[in-house]
Amino acid sequence: MEQNLLESEPLPGIVQLTLNRPAARNALDSGLMGALAEAIARHGERPATRVIVVRASGTAFCAGADLNAMLALGRGALDANVADAETLAALLLAVRRCPKPTVAAVQGPAFGGGVGLATACDIAVGAEEALFRLPEVRLGIVPAIISPYVVEAIGLRQARRYCLSGETIPAARAREIGLLHEVVPGPNLGGEALRIATELAAGGPGALAHCKQLLADVGGHGPDEARGGALANRLARLRAGDEAQDGLAAALARRSPGWAP
């Protein structure tokens, strides 16, 4: 059985976690979210790990939530629906609270939860071909769990535009608004991520952990709100509604939803 998450150590102390569901464009199902959260927590406690790089197999970084799973969750019991939303919240908090610096290397499309994953990491570098999108409203839902991370990265004004429009954000524009720190040619992405990781690894392990906590303290506590039940319940209840069911089913069927102009 193919592993949905690959682990490697391309340089001493630098761990690379690779999302490995390329056929599904690395969509975040419960298995992948659980594996990634567990690996982040384990390496966060491992003294030998200095920096964690999050990458992906195939042509897409992460297509966000698995649409088939979302459709089924909306049709099922509310408790399971909420639990799934909280799984994503727990993953992003695990990334954000990891005492080791994290670097996202985005080589292609990053949609919905993929944007959340990139913005939860401390640093994000993208290939020139990288594309970002927050398509939730076009599916009849909202980017509830990822919203604190997105707003923190790009500011409320830009978030109003891109969360409401669902339009595509090219790599150059993503850098302008703060979604990415750097944009490099595709073939150079891995090398640039490792270069940044090497720079990060030059810091003291304890200092890096304390610095991350310092920045969290002075930057406010917005991302912690993603763990609250209100946002998970909002997403879960919207997924169960007629509009979301139509939007999700329409996306899977490659048709327009009923409310489309």
227 or 20, which is more confident?
20
Say whether 192 is catalytic.
no
Tokens of 112: 């919905």
In 3D space, the residue among 54, 191, 56, 183 whose CA is nearest the CA of residue 126 turns out to be 183
pLDDT in tens, 175-223: 999 999 999 999 999 999 999 999 999 898 888 998 898 888 777 545 5
Confidence at 226, pLDDT banded by 50, 70, 90? very low
pLDDT class of 243 with cuts at 50, 70, 90: confident
Q: What is the mean pLDDT of residues 34-38?
A: 97
Which among 86, 136, 152, 192 is annotated as catalytic?
136
Q: What is the DSSP string of 87-145?
A: HHHHHHHHHHH-SS-EEEEE-SEEETHHHHHHHHSSEEEEETT-EEE--GGGGTS--TT
Using one digit for the tens of pLDDT, what is the confidence trace for 89-130?
Answer: 999 999 999 999 999 999 999 999 999 999 999 999 999 999
Question: Is residue 58's pLDDT more than 50?
Answer: yes
Which pLDDT score is estimated for 5? 97
- DSSP 8-state secondary structure symbol assigned to residue 12: T
**Amino acid 246: pLDDT:** 85
pLDDT at 36 over 50: yes
Checking if the pLDDT of 143 tops 50, the result is yes
- Token digits of residue 254: 């490659």
Q: What is the mean pLDDT of residues 238-251?
A: 86
Look up the pTM and report it.
0.89
Q: Is 74 helix (H, G, I), strand (E, B) or coil?
A: helix
Q: Which fold has domain 5-253?
A: 2-enoyl-CoA Hydratase; Chain A, domain 1 (3.90.226)
pLDDT, residue 256, reads 86
In the chain, what are the domain boundaries?
Answer: 5-253
- Can you give the pLDDT at residue 228? 53
